């Protein structure tokens, strides 16, 4: 195996000079010598030992991504877009898929604490399970950047704040405007609605219904696990017991919405004729579905650029004040919530 010493011998330079050039730190090395070193390394078949380089420099050129799952296609879109943005900046992306399991979240955050990655982007904030680790990370000034809809993160960590919870109000108001009077919520804040608890999404939903003089209680709730199959079973069971339970559905995410649509059809009901359906987040499949779906769409490319900008800025200036970037989602009305007479 070709070593740094072999390359140094071939070009007549010392090993430290060759190391700096091949590891991207060619300070005070002339352009001519840089070219000679790189040409010799290529000719001799030198391959850098990135693990050794990382140990020596304390820099991995890797950013971790703490993400709940990839079943929800929006998260897959985040992974792809973040990978492209980070690659352009010379960093690799290392996803940690946690499936909402505490031990996996701990492993991901430990990777930052143990300097296995230079920074960590977290796609959600879970103070209930991770508060202790968050505090250790904060005290040590490690780069943890959040994409969150939890305002408590603001000012504590660098973060991108989203208005996902406000989507429940926007979609409820949209469905009410389209004539819906019995609106169900599938997943997401459905648990809070069923139990009568406060919660950002549930509070926004209740406010929209109460403003229209409509009841908002456990009858609006369709709790379910986070999968198409679970959403299908929960919605179908409710509609089989109560065929007119809903004339509108707000679905927590794309990982449930197609199961909901199938359940509506299998219950003998039509979309949007008898039940109008809307969901939070957007994908090409939502646009291309047999009945294109109304969505509360996040600006994913812009969010990813902001997350990467915050990450790189934190790596450059570890002691700078925390920054928050806020984004607003957009209601995109499509055929799934159209009045029947407007369908083409």
For the chain, where are the alpha helices, taking DSSP H only?
Answer: 4-11, 15-22, 31-44, 50-57, 73-88, 102-113, 127-139, 166-177, 190-195, 200-211, 228-241, 254-266, 284-288, 300-316
Contact 325, 77 (CB under 8 A): no
Return mean pLDDT, the chain: 91
Closest CA to 190 of 234, 165, 223: 223
Mean pLDDT of 111-129: 90
Mean pLDDT of 324-331: 95
Q: Got the DSSP string for 10-38? A: HHT--HHHHHHHHTT--TT--HHHHHHHH
Contact 278, 334 (CB under 8 A): no
| Model confidence pLDDT, tens digit, residues 45-67 | 887 665 555 545 557 799 999 99
Given a cut of 90, whether residue 146 has pLDDT beyond it is yes
Mean pLDDT of 158-179: 95
Mean pLDDT of 282-295: 96
Residue 58: per-residue pLDDT: 59
4-56, superfamily in CATH?
lambda repressor-like DNA-binding domains (1.10.260.40)
Given a cut of 50, whether residue 154 has pLDDT beyond it is yes
CATH number assigned to the domain with residue range 60-163+299-329, chosen from the 4 options 3.40.50.620, 3.30.420.40, 3.40.50.2300, 3.30.565.10: 3.40.50.2300
Mean pLDDT of 147-159: 81
Domain ranges of the chain: 4-56, 60-163+299-329, 166-297
Given a cut of 80, whether residue 28 has pLDDT beyond it is no
What's the pLDDT band for 205 if we cut at 50, 70, 90? very high
Residue 291: per-residue pLDDT: 97
What's the pLDDT band for 22 if we cut at 50, 70, 90? confident
Kind of pairing, strands 119-122 and 62-67? parallel
Mean pLDDT of 273-300: 96
pTM here is 0.80
Mean pLDDT of 20-33: 78
Residue 344: per-residue pLDDT: 46
Gap between the Cα atoms of 85 and 321, Å rounded? 23
**Tokens for 7?**
């390359």
Given a cut of 90, whether residue 312 has pLDDT beyond it is yes
166-297, superfamily in CATH?
Response regulator (3.40.50.2300)
Mean pLDDT of 262-283: 97
Given a cut of 60, whether residue 109 has pLDDT beyond it is yes
Phi and psi, residue 92, nearest 5°: -95, 155
| Integer angstrom CA distances of residue 185 from 2, 19, 61, 222, 223 | 62, 59, 42, 6, 8
Mean pLDDT of 191-210: 93
Which residues, 6+ apart, have CB-to-CB distance to 206 below 8 Å?
193, 216
Which residues, 6+ apart, have CB-to-CB distance to 199 below 8 Å?
189, 192
Residue 210: per-residue pLDDT: 96
**Is the sign of the CA dihedral 269, 270, 271, 276 positive or negative?**
negative
**Of the ranges 38-52, 139-153, 226-240, which is most confident?**
226-240
Min mean pLDDT across 13-22, 112-121, 181-190 is at 13-22
Residue 49: per-residue pLDDT: 63
Given a cut of 70, whether residue 117 has pLDDT beyond it is yes
In eight-state DSSP terms, residue 272 is: T
Gap between the Cα atoms of 252 and 188, Å rounded? 5
Beta bridge partners of residue 204, listed in sequence order: none
SS3 271: coil
| Model confidence pLDDT, tens digit, residues 217-234 | 999 999 999 999 999 999
Given a cut of 90, whether residue 31 has pLDDT beyond it is no
> Given this chain, do its domains 60-163+299-329 and 166-297 carry the same CATH topology?
yes
User: Could you tell me what percent of the chain has a pLDDT over 90?
Assistant: 68
In eight-state DSSP terms, residue 292 is: P
| Integer angstrom CA distances of residue 54 from 14, 23, 93, 116, 304 | 21, 10, 15, 9, 26
**Is the sign of the CA dihedral 245, 250, 253, 258 positive or negative?**
positive
């Amino acid at each position: 195996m070709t070593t740094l010493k072999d390359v140094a011998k071939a070009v007549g330079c010392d090993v430290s000079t060759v190391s700096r050039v091949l590891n991207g730190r060619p300070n005070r090395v002339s352009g001519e010598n840089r070219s000679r070193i790189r040409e010799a390394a290529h000719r001799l078949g030198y391959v850098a030992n990135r693990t050794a380089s990382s140990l020596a420099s304390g820099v991995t050129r890797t950013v971790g991504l703490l993400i709940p799952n990839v079943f929800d296609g929006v998260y897959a879109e985040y992974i792809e877009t973040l990978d492209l943005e980070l690659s352009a900046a010379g960093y690799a992306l290392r996803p940690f898929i946690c499936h909402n399991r505490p031990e996996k979240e701990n492993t991901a955050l430990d990777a930052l604490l143990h300097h296995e990655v230079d920074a960590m982007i977290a796609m959600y904030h879970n103070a209930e399970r991770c508060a202790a680790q968050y505090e250790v990370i904060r005290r040590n000034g490690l780069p943890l950047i959040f994409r969150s809809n939890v305002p408590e993160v603001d000012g504590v960590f660098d973060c991108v704040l989203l208005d996902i919870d406000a989507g429940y109000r926007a979609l409820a108001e949209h469905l009410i405007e389209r004539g819906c009077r019995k609106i169900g919520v599938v997943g997401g804040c459905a648990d809070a609605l069923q139990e009568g608890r406060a919660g950002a999404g549930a509070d926004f939903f209740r406010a929209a219904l109460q403003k229209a003089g409509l009841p908002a209680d456990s009858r609006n709730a369709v709790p379910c696990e986070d999968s198409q199959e679970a959403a299908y079973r929960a919605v179908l069971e409710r509609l089989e017991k109560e065929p007119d339970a809903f004339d509108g559905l707000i679905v927590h995410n794309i990982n449930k919405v197609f199961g909901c649509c199938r359940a509506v059809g299998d219950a003998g009901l039509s979309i949007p004729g008898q039940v109008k359906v809307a969901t939070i987040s957007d994908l090409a499949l939502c646009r291309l579905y047999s009945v294109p779906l109304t969505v509360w769409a996040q600006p994913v490319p812009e969010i990813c650029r902001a997350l990467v900008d915050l990450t790189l800025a934190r790596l450059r200036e570890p002691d700078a004040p925390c920054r928050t970037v806020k984004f607003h989602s957009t209601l995109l009305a499509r055929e799934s919530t159209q009045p029947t007479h407007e369908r083409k």
